[in-house]
Amino acid sequence: MQVIDLLSMNEALIALVGEWEAVLRSLPEAVMADRRNSQHRSIKEIVGHMVDSATNNTHRIVHLQYQQSPLVFPNYATNGNNDRWIALQHYQQEDWQSLVSLWKFSVLHIGHVISRVDAGKLENQWIAGPDKRISLGAMIHDFLPHLQLHLAEIEDLINRK
- Domains of the chain from N-terminus onward: 3-159 (1.20.120.450)
Rounded to a whole number of angstroms, the CA Rg of the chain reads 16
Residue 27, pLDDT > 90, answer yes
Percent of the chain with pLDDT over 70: 96
Residues in the chain: 161
In the prediction, which pLDDT does 25 show?
A: 97
Residue 3, pLDDT > 70, answer no
Q: Average per-residue pLDDT in the chain? A: 92
At 75-105, the pLDDT tens digits run 887 777 888 999 999 999 999 999 999 999 9
SS3 41: coil
In the prediction, which pLDDT does 73 show?
A: 84
Where does the pLDDT of residue 1 fall: very low under 50, low under 70, confident under 90, or very high at 90 and above? Answer: very low
Q: Please answer whether residues 156 and 21 qualify as being in contact, where contact means their C-beta atoms are separated by less than 8 angstroms.
A: no
